[in-house]
Amino acid sequence: MFQSEPTLGRQMSHGRLLAIRILTMLTVLAGLAYLTWRWGWSLNWHYWWISVPLVTAETYSLVGIVLLGAQIWREKIRGKAPEPPADATADVFICTYNEDLDLVSTTARAAKAITWPHDTYILDDGARESMRVLAQELGVGYLVRTADWEGKNRHAKAGNLNNALMQTTGEFILILDADQVPKPEILTKVLGWFNDPKVGIVQTPQWFYNVTPGDPLSNQQTLFYGPVQQGKDGWGAAFFCGSNGILRREALMQLGLHQYVNETERTVKDALKASRHILRKAHKDAPADLDASHRAALVRMEQAAADGLQRIEAGEPVQAVTWDFQAMVEQANASLISSDLLSIQADVEDLAALRLDGDEDSLLAEFVMPETAGAPASAAVLDPDALARLSSMQFSPLAAMQQVTALVRAIDVDRPNEALPVNPVSSVSITEDMETSMLLHSIGWGSVFHREILCRGMATEDLKSYINQRLRWCQGNMQVLIRHNPLTFKGLRPGQRLGYFSMFWDYLTGFPALIFLATPIVYLLTGALPVKFWGWVFVAMFLPYFLISQAQVFLVGWGVNTWRNQQYSLAMFPTWIKACTTAAVNVWFGLPLHFAVTDKTRPTGRARFPVRLIWPQLMFMVLMVAAVVGGFFFVLLSVDLPLGPRLSWLGWGINTAWISFYFVELTAIVNGARFRMPDYDFQKVVASLP
């Protein structure tokens, strides 16, 4: 009924690794020759609007193939881990929000049965009373958000983990999703990798027990949790994947402090830059008759802001710089207010002969207390609110100084919007796992990929859940790419930059996929020719590159079923495009991303075919059929096309071949939409696992 558990610990032969390296180099050479011809001689500028996007998409594909080969170049197969120290302490965190109690109970029982001495905790972000009772019955810890989180940023799973980190003490933390059932020996088999004091992460594969033969939803990521992670491991870039990973508490706490210092420094620098701008503008816009002491105060504070920035860049403590600048701002404010009050008092004395008789039209009436409106000017009491209005007038620099004061006071090292000033697990992205890994690598911590199935989980069981899960993954990765480009991010080694960038690169595939799908349809229906030298010249240039690159991909995935992954990589193009655009809008314009926990509730009943989920793919499939049939009759009848010359049988044949290939790949998403998981008792299935 379900896939059997594979053996993932095989050793790559030297011959296969050598062949992969040779094919990678040949792919680069053949690809460069092909793309040189495409960019240099074959672009059809008459149809630039389809020609340039197509060659750009082809360039993207070559980069992706090269990145895959480069990752596998140093594929690392680790043997058995060393014996762990007998006194190593561990905590097991089971993260849950709204999952079924039976599901969490199965995981918690298995976690409690782990043979290495440890403490097990259920981290219930739903704060359910029924879950608390379950934890008590099972004899495991139960953690919810403390009162400190009320009205503060929660940060989803990252916040849940950070809350638990502050309430536990284990030296190492095994993190499990609610459905990931661990084997008893998991800690015994992996803790030995932490004998290296610089290892901060050990990741094991995720394998799903409820995947049927053929994997219709492409849930089993056997290529990723095999050659790809092993290749990243060879470059020192294997990363934490959210579950089934063990992290060193010391590494997380160091990262939290590092990020806290960086964030505080960034906030202070931003405040100083803004203050300098405000003061410079106030000085520039000040009237010519501005009091000399006021003008000097503006110049002095502007210079103080510039000096503060220089001191931070020179490495001085941020706290000392902030304190000095705050003190100068307070001193300048007090001096300016005193000066303005003396000036106002002098003006009032000069008007001693003027009586304020309560006349609404009187020039000074609005600045005195009502009960003294009829008194002599020298005895009139000025309204405090009026003083505030006076201080904001153009003749006083107090308005600018008040803005600076507000900025400076906003620099709060306690981070009032956060429940925890220090957040060890990164909370900037909705994929906290990958970002935390990259940040840990950037400050010098190492990682290990242990290729042995030590947990079994529950995969998504319908297409909607699958799409939502992949959408979240892609959105989070794009958030990180935009904020922390691994090619320029400080602290990463070249191999780590390669490993992270290749992962981000894969998620951009939606845009070239759209171009690849549209190009043959456009040609067959309109005659718009994207390649100037169509026919056998194109075949001679393209075919060697295509065959070598496919051989490389085949050899990389030797023994692993990669076809379903390849199908979904193309067929999910609307999801990839949506994820990239929404993540960019989130980072650049601050629009929120809605975090959706992967639904682990089993679908019930017979659902309708989800046309709304896959209508773009269905539309393309209809257009493909129309293009092939229409193109056939255009050639047969020698019909003139609206945008180009008459089609040839060779042109029709080549484009029909591409359309057929893409059509087959798109069928995967249709089969996924039609898929209905057979009924099963997951507890019995889990109990039957070896």
Instruction: State residue 425 phi and psi, 5-degree precision.
Output: -85, 125
Residue carrying structure tokens 């129309």:
626
pLDDT at 318: 78
Q: Is the pTM of this model over 0.75?
A: yes
**Better pLDDT: 169 or 410:** 169
Compute the distance between CA of residue 501 and CA of residue 441 in angstroms, rounded to an integer: 14
Q: Does residue 174 surpass a pLDDT of 60?
A: yes
pLDDT band at 355 (very low <50, low <70, confident <90, very high): very low
Cα 305 from Cα 322, distance rounded (Å): 10
Give the separation between CA 273 and CA 280, rounded to whole angstroms: 11
pLDDT band of 203, cuts 50, 70, 90: very high
Checking if the pLDDT of 401 tops 70, the result is: no
- Residue scoring higher pLDDT (76 or 615): 615
pLDDT value of residue 409: 61
Strands 172-177 and 181-182: unpaired
pLDDT of residue 125: 95
Say if residue 642's pLDDT is above 70: yes
Q: How many Cα atoms are found within 13 Å in the side-chain-facing hemisphere of 171?
A: 13
Say how far apart CA 402 and CA 546 lie, in whole Å: 65
Q: How far is CA 380 from CA 111, 340, 355, 363, 586, in A?
A: 78, 17, 9, 13, 55
Long-range contacts of 637-646 (CB under 8 A, 24+ apart): 641/525, 641/526, 641/527, 642/526, 642/527, 643/47, 643/526, 643/527, 643/528, 644/47, 644/523, 644/526, 644/527, 644/528, 644/529, 645/527, 645/529, 646/527
CA–CA gap between residue 272 and residue 577 (Å, rounded): 38
pLDDT digits (tens, 9 = 90+) for 503-558: 999 999 999 999 999 999 999 999 999 998 767 888 889 999 999 998 888 888 77
Residue 102 has a pLDDT of 94
DSSP helix/strand/coil, 108: helix
pLDDT at 395: 45
Arithmetic mean of pLDDT, 384-400: 52
- The single residue listed with the structure tokens 């595939």 is 509
| Nearest CA-CA partner of 240 in 78, 425, 108, 111 | 425
State how far the Cα of 36 lies from the Cα of 30, in Å rounded to an integer: 10
| Predicted confidence (pLDDT) per residue in 405-418, tens digit | 666 665 555 677 88
Q: Is the pLDDT of residue 294 over 80?
A: no
CA 133/CA 137 separation, integer angstroms: 6
